[in-house]
Amino acid sequence: MRHAGRASHYRGCGDPFQGLWLLHHRLQAVGGQEACGRVLGRQEVQRLRRFLHGQETQEDRSGILTLGADRLREALQQVVDALGAAGTEVLLERPRDPTHGDLATSVALQLAKPLRKRPRELAETILDRLQVPAGLVSRTEVAGPGFINFWLAESALSDVLVRILTQGSAFGRSGTGTGRRVNVEFVSANPTGPLHVGHGRGAALGDAVASLLQATGHDVVREFYVNDAGLQIERLAASLWARVQQAVGREAELPEGGYHGLYLEELAQQILEAEGKQFADLPAEEGLERVRDIAVRTQRAEQDRDLAEFGVRFDAVFSESELYRGDELQQTLNELEARQLTYERDGAVWLRTSAFGDEKDRVLRKQDGSFTYFLPDLAYHRNKAGRGFDRAIDVWGADHHGYVPRMRAALTALGAADDFFHALIVQLVRVMRHGQEVRFSKRTGDFVTLRDLYQETGVDAARYFFLMRKGDAQFVFDIDLATKQSEENPVYYVQYAHTRMAGIFRTANVAPADVSADGADLSLLVEVLEQDLIKRLGELPVQVERAAEAMEPHRIIAYLEEIARLVNAWYHHHRVVGVGEGLERARLVLARAAQIVLANGLNLLGITAPERM
RNA sequence: GCGCCCGUAGCUCAGCUGGACAGAGCAUCGGCCUUCUAAGCCGAGGGUCCCAGGUUCGAGUCCUGGCGGGCGCACCA
């Protein structure tokens, strides 16, 4: 096991050009439309839709609320630059404390020293000079040591809802990574046995990271690498052959370092049933070869089945044996030699990885003339680069983290860009059941398989649990908690919020997809919970970008739990159906937006968003 | 011995890449189902952010040194 875990109803403004007027103002984010409410005409919606669509690839990245924070940031930046601090980048953040506004910046604090001014005075100066895009901000203040806080105008909020409903399942996507080709390699379990819980964590993480990268515009290939050559496979074959012999009553011993798992005994039985008892009489050499092929095929098929049931699909499966067939090992070696990066010592061929940041040089070809595992791995990653990938992301188990520096060093030696190779390290999983740790070990045959796990907990629960923690944190999987179909189980919380939105549409007798902002007066959404929820819903694209950049899916889980909490609270305190036509329309829009965000987020993680539970 | 990761509430873990009083879930205690699913909502208690220095206007976050836990240090894969 190399990679272990590897609008149109008018409200009486009487202006025949209201639609255009509104549109213009919305696009310019000029305020003053309060008197006209925020009733959207159908044309307006369509034009806004086109506008939004064209903007998709140039998303703002700084802001919390998508359709405006960026302009505010730029306005601030202009003031800062004019003050003679051009090197300082203005950052807008959402304060933790809501009494500090919707957006805040600490530039005045940062600039106080270099400009030799008092932070609060500087903040006032910045505010004086700031040309706040009107219609976006309703209030500003200087607070604390010199923070500048902004409160968003209501119109900015309804823009968020329109945007979400308009984009639908595409909401959350962006184009940050457009044009970048990324290979995400994960699981990559040896075909020597069933996938275990550690592989599950790698599978959930790799798949989610791949989805995050796709959502940000990257061109992604999910790849599975099969170590179908080498010592482990020989041991597997020898183990299976021994089991075949034992199954016909002969004395046979498993090889040293062999595989003791029950699955090989079962496979031996199946082989004999299919091939007849005389199979055991084959000459050892032929028997071993037959049994090796059967073992690898069988194990791969089972792994694929388990992964498919777990909801993971690979775009490519790459076999180590392809490298041998294509002579790529030798080519890689030749290339390294040509670059004079190798030398011979003690009868072995070494690679000067230490010249590229590794702690010591590494052997490529052993004394006995055979290659180390390092060379095929190198050749494989060279192959990835050759296939045109800009980046190669590998999900590895923590037990291989020490392998990262030499891989990076070797790839640098081969001329790869610094950011070409990136290893995502996944800590091994400990499994608890009934308060006791379940040990698993492939060799002793005593372990919890991935299949056991998802059959017991369900795929959604298993994936959720794997993803709710940072990959490189040690993690205890509590089977009892994951299995509980009750409020104690965190998996259902987010799904339930989604289900409740679906319930509203059932009661209202509308198809969710038919809910539209057209004709809805979104200014009626005045409740605190509603406004908080809207602000947070608008963050999805930013959250996805950040999670993709950090390659940390657990951030999406944390965000979704926050959304679910706001949704559940809103649901509990405010009714939608039967509260009066106008308000009901507006709230249906909000419910739909919430449903979209929850569904998009869950789908990104490979978790279903059920209509009913 | 060296390297990497982790150390935050009783437990499992977040903390938006240095911001304003440190959060969630579970567990504990109290309240809420004639109304869109109570798998829910509202509230309470609970903290030396491992320790000690340092950088900074500001540190859970960055630096150094300790302590504790995991993993790794092969001509094994």
In a domain, A594, yes or no: yes
Burial A203-216 (b: 16+ CB within 10 A, else e): bbbbbbbbbbbbbb
DSSP designation for A372 = P
| Residue A552, domain member (yes or no) | yes
| Residue A570 located in a structural domain | yes
Identify the residues numbered 570 to 589 in chain A whose C-beta atom is closer than 7 Å to any atom of strand B.
571-577
pLDDT, tens digit, for every residue of A18-67?
A: 222 222 222 222 222 222 223 343 333 433 333 333 333 333 333 334 55
Q: A136, A170, A204 — which closes off a domain?
A: A170
Would you say the C-beta of A457 is within 7 Å of strand B? no
pLDDT band at A3 (very low <50, low <70, confident <90, very high): very low
Q: How far is CA A393 from CA A181, A206, A422, in A?
A: 11, 9, 5
| pLDDT for residue A59 | 35
CATH number, domain of A536, equals: 1.10.730.10
Determine phi and psi for A512, rounding to 5 degrees: -50, -40
Q: How many CB atoms lie within 10 A of CB A260?
A: 15
What's the Å distance between residue A185 CA and nucleotide B72 C1'?
A: 21
Task: Pick the last residue of a domain from A170, A195, A217.
Answer: A170
State whether the beta carbon of A226 lies below 7 angstroms from any atom of strand B: no
A453's tokens: 């796990």
Residue A394 lies in a domain: no
Report yes or no on A453 lying in a domain: no
Strand B bases within 7 angstroms of protein beta carbons: 2-7, 12-17, 19-27, 35-42, 56-58, 69-77
Count the domains in chain A. Answer: 2
Q: How confident is the model at residue A486 (pLDDT cuts 50, 70, 90)?
A: low
Question: In whole angstroms, what is the distance from residue A451 CA to residue A189 CA?
Answer: 14
pLDDT at A95: 84
CATH of the domain at A115: 3.30.1360.70
From the Cβ of A555, is strand B under 7 Å away? yes
In a domain, residue A154? The reply is: yes
Q: How far is the CA of A461 from the C1' of B6 (A)?
A: 25
Q: With a cut of 90, say whether residue A478 has pLDDT above it.
A: no
Burial of A421 (0-12, 13-18, 19+ CB in 10 A): buried
Contacts (Cβ under 8 Å, ≥6 apart) of A498: A595, A598, A599, A602, A609, A610
**CA of A51, C1' of B64: distance in angstroms:** 53
Picking from A331, A333, A351, A354, the residue whose alpha carbon sits closest to that of residue A342 is A351
Other CB atoms within 10 Å distance of the CB of residue A181: 15
Boundaries of domain holding A71: 55-160+164-170
Give the pairing type, strands A391-397 and A421-426.
parallel
A503-533 confidence digits (pLDDT tens): 999 999 999 999 999 989 999 999 989 998 9
State ipTM. 0.93
The β-bridge relationship of strands A181-185 and A391-397 is: parallel
Query: Taking a C-beta distance cutoff of 8 angstroms, is the pair A180, A138 a contact?
Result: no
Residue A612, domain member (yes or no)? no
Contact between A564 and A494 under an 8 Å Cβ cutoff? The reply is yes
Quick one: average pLDDT of A269-291?
A: 94
Say how far apart CA A48 and CA A346 lie, in whole Å.
Answer: 72
Answer whether residue A18 is part of any domain.
Answer: no
**Domain boundary residue among A170, A205, A235?**
A170
Query: Lowest mean pLDDT: which of A1-10, A82-91, A148-157, A474-483?
Result: A1-10
Chain position carrying tokens 């021994």: A242
The pLDDT score that the predictor gives to residue A61 is: 33
Two structure tokens written together for A488: 């104690």
